Structure formats: C-alpha cells, structure tokens
Amino acid sequence: GGRAMAAVRDVEIDPEGTFKYILVRVQRPGGGEQRDIVRGTGAAEFHNHIFEKLNPEMEKLGYECKCLGGGKIDHNSKDKKIRVFGLSMGYGKADHSVTVEILKKVYTDYEITWSDDKK
C-alpha cells in the first residue's frame, strides 16, 4: 500500500513566480496512512481550482483529500528562495510552518520563510 502513497509527490508548485497554494491532507478512507502535501500554481485563479484538479487524481489512487487551508507562495528560483504567506478566503489560512517543513524536504538548498502577511 505504501507504493501508491509514494507516487503522491510531497510538493508540486510552479518553478517561478507568486501564486496560490493549498495544504492538503491525503489519507486512506477509514484512517491508516496519511500525509500532508503542498500544491500551488499560477494557473489557478482561486484556491478551489487547485483542489478540484487534485481531488479526482487522488480519488483514482484510492485516497481522500481534505484541504487544510491555503495561502500564497513566492518562488524565486534564481535566488533559491521561497516565501509562504497570505491565506485562502474559502479554505482559511494554512499552517504555513507545516508548509515550510514540507517544502524543505524537496527544496533542500533553499532559504524558505513564512509570515502571516497578506502580501
């Protein structure tokens, strides 16, 4: 069962720019394995657009998704910096400190910070 979960990447975000993101808990129905993942893209006008794309993909793999909140990510690949801030009107503010820990798993050589600033 761990193999399918391994196919779910911790982070999928745009390589550059400032964009909306959501923090999502992915789990097997009825408990069992679960993890939190980060998804963000400039293609999404609203936070729920990201979730509505992700949810069917996860359901196909046999997982339930719950959005834990959202915000924005400012990704500067040239300077290797990521800033996490803001909130989602629909989902509320994600725990940005959790988001940062997940981002650090993938962007190991980046400076990653967060704040509750709106912009």
Q: Of the residues 47, 49, 75, 96, which is catalytic? A: 47
The bridge status of strand 11-13 relative to strand 34-41 is parallel
Confirm or deny that 20 is annotated as ligand binding.
Answer: yes
47 is catalytic: yes
Tell me which DSSP letter residue 47 carries. Answer: H
Please spell the DSSP secondary structure of 1-40, one letter per residue: -HHHHHTS-SEEE-SSEEEEEEEEEEE-TTSSSEEEEEEE
Cα 66 from Cα 57, distance rounded (Å) = 13
Known binding-site positions: 20
Known binding-site positions for substrate: 20
Active site residues: 47
